[in-house]
Chain A
């Protein structure tokens, strides 16, 4: 279908939605926000239904809902997992503003609730390939060194896997880690890891909602090929002052929140590691003089101007500091800023305007001598503007449209010798800039009680800028579509199609991701990557929606995927494009998942069968090869059990085929050392990966007390599996003609203890 036809289709969709407008004249609209009654936080994805019917809707990411019904008396039922259902009788004769406060279910509040949304949302919502995790579920997952980590929890979901042992990089359905769009309050996070990748930048105490789209990405989002990880932080308790915190073996954290007058609230959340304090105790002088820590802070304030206007200001600031002795070191970090204005034009038209800034940079410095002192800095910045509209004309249509502008600035590198005595020259690569202008429209339509259709279109105009002039321009239309057929309230099939396009890519000469990776933009010689993804799913709930079963099939066809030539030089390379290679790829798989969403015992078991391949002419002799993320069998089991009011325990077990690897199969000698001759790219696999983690939480405070505190004990890799992080090949020192393989493994039996409190 050519561009004109897509535009015609988009116009038709809009007109069709508008066509139904006369019907609204006969309907009365009830609208408002659904909130947590205990702290005033907006609830995202809470369900509001007309009792005895399938008429209803869910709250949007800002907690707003709108429901248009014919005049009459109804009972509205608002529900959200972990909260007491609320039935509200209403008589609709004129438009009604109805804010609903849901009270946490005190029993369920003590339990872990896996998913945070309506009770049968997984079956009834017109979307698939979406995973939601509650902050409480994330917290219940046993954590490496006690550091609760949203990305480590996500890696336990079907279709998602870690890029390497302990890494916070993740691959979704065979895609690369740079193909994940990670948003924190709508700002892109370009390097989501601390401590060389072992921890993510997200502080769970500040998080309200986590949604991972593995496919079927809404038309309002794009720019990455594989997934969208949408993380929303808390708005701040507007009922009372509260604090949450913890002291662990490697870090401490504190979150303070509370109302500011009657209309505003704020939250500040911070944490810092102190591994460097332990280093100072080391007998190794090199270790004792070293620096190794990270800190981060989330802050947010919101002000409700009136019933129709609310503003938010949110920020994230994080940094890693790392020094190997006092002579060399590096630091890197992200900053994001988001300013939002929610405006309700009418009970049926909700809008959100956002200004976004996102920044990432790193700095390396070495001062080993006056002659050899060197430094290197690199970074990027994004400035963005979003205008999103959500129009709910009647119960049949649900229309979203908007505009998005992003200005990218890339600073590939500036560095070299420091000072007059430096024997090292300097090099400064020119800054590069790009712009994305995006328009999108998407509609959800209910065709009767059983069939929901979803269709949308995303237009991107991408421009590569050099000294203010456009050197490359590309227009791209990405269609999105889906259908849901509800057999009944607990039983549905869904299908989806989405095209995604990625205009900025990561130059990474690292299989696990590194803070020094560079981003670069599409140009005349670097085409944007494209992916067409097809999905088909079956969803079934049991036992009053307490158990959820899903089976999803997907197929991804990728074009212009990027890889790098052998022995690519990516750092400070003025001719980076010469290092790139382009080709195609595909992935397909089956994801099965059974989960128990609430109750004293809850958790999930998932199994993924998948394949992911690449073909690039100049790599592997042009033959197809396994992508680095091809792991055919992948099993995750996550369980949490409330043993007593005082004790709860959790465990997770993961199994996956080893990652593909290129092994040496021959050798030749150069200057006395053996140089490997390799197999085909990724022809072999590491040994299978499996691991069991355990944790237990001992609640120290009495039930109902304001001051709550607990001890969390965790044991990572409980049976000490020596999973290969990498395999090195060595020559024996005494007998250099004997080569051998040496496995490097991390993290066996890592115990930790954390004291958590809240009041």
Chain B
């Protein structure tokens, strides 16, 4: 398993450019006038191998400079079907637009899941239907995890994993990684998402692969002896990896030296009506999880 090399070198260029530009660049908040785009239907959610309440969030997009939270869309009919049946999702009574399965639902590796949503988005009295499909990749197997000093920078620790890649049908595996400290998620945002793939590696062994670098000078990442460190490796689809990479990149903004033109992040949600004019954003995916925990000792 490896980090994505092009992304890695983009990171080097980014660091270099920041250093170079740091000599001259200044930043200043400014006002720009843009016309808010018409609202889009946003559907985002997943089903995983955990046995839990899986969530689909349905919202209406807002103008970029809106200051309110996304407006949830109620009264949608939401379900997820697979070869073995269909799960109906119910809207959370406390949070409009959040639709949940029952707590005993879990995804199965290798199966294909289809999200179905029916709602009247534009208020014209007609219900429109939307669907998205995702396979659920096989999970990686984690054998062990360790926290080690990171030689390059004294103030960093690295979290390293050993294990085995899943046997994937098309020979490509994509991953995302999450880190919990005492069962609290550390990289809890899109910008903290860590992804990788195995494009250029033969075999299926994960050997001393560093997945996180923790700056011990920042409270957010600081480990203390006795802390429980849990690594979660998610086997994700190529499409979801691409969605996350692009969404994360767009959320940062573009730097002329190493960014192409900004572009909307592609969704896999499709309207079932060929005449629909509803613009859609978001993503539905299925993924598997593997976890391993350790107690950190200095």
User: How long is the Cα–Cα vector from A712 to B20 in the complex, in angstroms?
Assistant: 25
Is B84 among interface residues, defined by CB-CB distance under 8 A? Answer: no
List, in ascending order, chain A residues with CB within 8 A of B69's CB: 737
Chain B residue at minimal CB-CB distance from A628: B261
Q: Is the CB of B256 within 8 A of A725?
A: yes
Which of A415, A669, A747 neighbours the largest number of chain B CB atoms within 10 Å of its CB?
A: A669
On whether A668 and B63 interact (CB within 8 A), knowing A423-B207, A729-B253, the answer reads: no
Residues of chain A contacted by B163 (CB below 8 angstroms): none
Q: Would you give the shortest CB distance from B147 to chain A, in whole angstroms? A: 14
Any B CB within 8 A of the CB of A309:
no
Residues from chain A with a CB closer than 8 A to the CB of B2 are: 416-417, 423-425
**Does B19 belong to the interface (CB within 8 Å)?**
yes
How far does the alpha carbon of A324 sit from the alpha carbon of B12 in the complex, in Å?
Answer: 8
Q: Are B8 and A374 in contact (CB under 8 A)?
A: yes
Tell me if B184 is interfacial: C-beta within 8 Å of chain A: no
Cβ-based interface call for B143 (8 A): no
CB within 8 Å for A668 and B5 given contacts A366-B12, A371-B209, A741-B30:
no
> Is B186 interfacial (CB 8 A cutoff)?
no
A415-B22 Cα distance, complex, nearest whole Å = 28
Contact of B42 with A by CB under 8 A = yes
Contact A423 B257 (CB under 8 A): no
Indicate whether A675 sits within 8 Å of B247 (C-beta atoms), given known contacts A571-B10, A664-B34. Answer: yes
- Contact B257 A666, beta carbon cutoff 8 Å: no
Known: A286-B19, A742-B28. Is A416-B209 also a contact (CB below 8 A)?
Answer: no
Query: For residues 193 through 213 of chain B, which have their beta carbon under 8 Å from a beta carbon of chain A?
Result: 193, 199-202, 207-210
Given contacts A196-B257, A668-B40, A668-B282, contact A676 B1 (CB under 8 A): no
Give the interface segment out of B116-124, B215-223, B263-271: B263-271
> In the complex the two chains form, is B5's CB within 8 Å of A746's CB?
no
In the assembled complex, A516 has its CB within 8 A of some CB on chain B: yes
Question: Are A564 and B19 within 8 A (Cβ)?
Answer: no
One of B74-82, B88-96, B99-107, B150-158 contacting the partner = B150-158
Task: Count chain B residues whose beta carbon lies closer than 8 angstroms to a beta carbon of A.
Answer: 91
Contact of B15 with A324 in the complex, beta carbons under 8 Å: yes
Enumerate B52-66 residues with CB–CB distance to A below 8 Å. 59, 61-66
The listed residue (B20, B207, B249) touching A196 by CB distance below 8 A is: B20
Interface residue stretch chosen among A89-97, A452-460, A497-505, A506-514: A506-514
Complex Cα spacing A391 to B58, Å: 76
* The stretch of A63-71, A532-540, A677-685 that contacts the partner chain: A677-685
Q: Tell me whether A668 and B20 are in contact in the complex, defined as CB-CB below 8 angstroms, given that A516-B13, A679-B34, A727-B253 are known contacts.
A: no
Given the known interface contacts A567-B249, A738-B67, A740-B29, the answer about A510 and B256 at a Cβ–Cβ threshold of 8 Å is: yes
For A257-287 the 0/1 string (1 means CB < 8 A from B) is 0000000000000000001000000000011
Q: Contact flags (1/0) for A723-743 with B, using CB distance below 8 Å?
A: 011111110000101111111
- Please, which residues of chain A bring their CB within 8 A of the CB of B193? 671
State whether B190 touches A369 (Cβ < 8 A).
Answer: no
Residues of A within 8 A of B61 (CB): 666-668, 677
Q: Does chain B have a CB within 8 A of A748?
A: yes
Q: How far is the CB of A375 from chain B (nearest CB, A)?
A: 9
C-alpha gap A318/B3 in the complex (Å): 32
Assess whether A512 is in contact with B35, with CB atoms less than 8 Å apart: no
- Chain B residues closer than 8 Å to A725, beta-carbon distance: 25, 256
A424-B200, A510-B257, A673-B191 given; A678·B19 CB < 8 A: no
B152 touches A665 (CB 8 A): no
Whether the Cβ atoms of A668 and B42 lie closer than 8 Å is yes
With a cutoff of 8 Å between Cβ atoms, the chain B residues found around residue A677 in the complex are: 37, 40, 61, 64, 264, 281
- Please, which residues of chain A bring their CB within 8 A of the CB of B153? 368
B14 — nearest CB in chain A belongs to which residue?
A324
Alpha-carbon separation in the docked complex, A669 to B262 (Å): 17
- A735 to B67: give the CA distance in the assembly, Å: 9
Are A675's CB and B251's CB within 8 A? yes
Cβ-based interface call for A157 (8 A)? no
Q: Does B135 contact A (CB under 8 A)?
A: no
A741 to B63, CA, bound (A): 13
| Residues of B with C-beta under 8 A to A684 | 32, 34
- Fill in one digit per residue for B37-54: 1 if any A CB lies within 8 Å of its CB, else 0: 101101010000000000
Q: Which residues of B contact A364 (CB under 8 A)?
A: 9, 12-13
Contacting residue for A662 out of B188, B261, B265, CB 8 A: B261
Evaluate contact between A514 and B13: CB separation under 8 angstroms: yes
Which of A369, A374, A417, A672 contacts B189, CB < 8 Å? A672
CB contact between B256 and one of A511, A569, A737 (< 8 Å): that residue = A511
Instruction: From the candidates B200, B207, B252, name the one contacting A427 in the complex (CB within 8 A).
Output: B200
**How many whole Å from B175's CB to the nearest CB in chain A?**
13
Q: Mark B234-257, 1 if CB is under 8 A from A, else 0.
A: 000000001011111111111111
Question: Is A164 in contact with chain B by the CB < 8 A criterion?
Answer: yes
Q: In the bound complex, what is the Cα–Cα distance between A371 and B25 (angstroms)?
A: 33
Which residues of the other chain, A, contact B67 by a CB distance below 8 angstroms? Answer: 735, 737-738
Expressed in whole angstroms, the Cα–Cα distance for A367 and B281 within the complex equals 39
Q: How far is the CA of A420 from the CA of B36 in the complex (A)?
A: 53
Distance (whole angstroms) from the CB of A722 to the closest CB of chain B: 6
Q: Tell me which of A290, A567, A740 has the highest count of chain B C-beta atoms within 10 A of its own C-beta.
A: A567
The answer on a CB contact under 8 Å between B152 and A667 is: no
A247 in the interface, Cβ–Cβ < 8 Å? no
A118 within 8 A of B: no
Check B64–A322 contact: CB distance below 8 A: no
List of A residues within 8 angstroms of B27 by Cβ: 728, 742-745
Residues of A within 8 A of B261 (CB): 511, 566, 628, 662, 681-682
A737 to B68 alpha-carbon distance, docked (Å): 6
Tell me, yes or no, whether A182 is within 8 Å of chain B by CB: no
Roughly how many angstroms separate A666 CA and B281 CA in the complex, as a whole number?
Answer: 11
- Closest chain-A Cβ to B30's Cβ sits at a distance in Å of 5
Q: How far is the CB of A515 from chain B (nearest CB, A)?
A: 9
**Would you give the shortest CB distance from B209 to chain A, in whole angstroms?**
5
A726 touches B251 (CB 8 A): no
Q: A416-B200, A666-B64 are in contact. Are A372 and B3 (CB under 8 A)?
A: yes
Chain A hits for B258, CB < 8 A: 509-510, 514, 516
Shortest Cβ distance from residue A425 to the other chain B in the assembled complex, whole angstroms: 3
Contact of A369 among B59, B151, B254 (CB under 8 A): B151
In contact, B37 and A665 (Cβ under 8 angstroms):
yes
Q: Which residues of A contact B262 (CB under 8 A)?
A: 662, 664, 676, 678
Interface residue? B70 (CB, 8 A): yes
Q: How far is the CA of A512 from the CA of B36 in the complex (A)?
A: 28
Give, as a whole number of angstroms, the nearest-CB distance from A699 to chain B.
31
Q: Is there contact, CB below 8 Å, between B152 and A745?
A: no
Q: Is the CB of B210 within 8 A of A425?
A: no
A372-B20 CB under 8 A given contacts A666-B36, A675-B251: no
Contact A670 B15 (CB under 8 A): no
Interface pair A511/B64, CB less than 8 Å apart? no
Minimum Cβ distance to chain A for residue B203 (Å): 10
Q: Does A34 contact B (CB under 8 A)?
A: no
In the complex, whether A573 has a CB less than 8 A from a CB of chain B is yes
Chain B residues numbered 161-204 whose CB sits less than 8 Å from any CB in chain A:
188-191, 193, 199-202
Q: Does the CB pair A667–B17 fall under 8 Å?
A: no
Residue ID in chain B nearest A743 by CB atoms: B30
CA of A677 to CA of B31, assembled, Å = 18
CB contacts (< 8 Å) of A21 on chain B: these are none
- Taking a contact as CB atoms closer than 8 A, the residue among A415, A741, A747 that contacts B5 in the complex is A415
> B residues near A, CB below 8 A?
1-3, 5-6, 8-10, 12-13, 15-17, 19-32, 34-37, 39-40, 42, 44, 59, 61-70, 150-153, 158, 188-191, 193, 199-202, 207-210, 242, 244-266, 281-283
5 contacts between A and B (CB under 8 A): A667-B61, A667-B63, A668-B281, A675-B247, A746-B26
Which 7 A-B pairs give the minimum distances between C-beta atoms? A425-B200, A566-B263, A728-B253, A512-B256, A665-B37, A673-B190, A671-B190
**Extra contacts besides A369-B152, A514-B257 (17): CB < 8 Å:** A328-B16, A329-B16, A374-B9, A423-B208, A513-B257, A567-B242, A567-B249, A668-B281, A677-B40, A678-B264, A730-B253, A740-B65, A741-B30, A741-B31, A741-B32, A743-B30, A746-B25
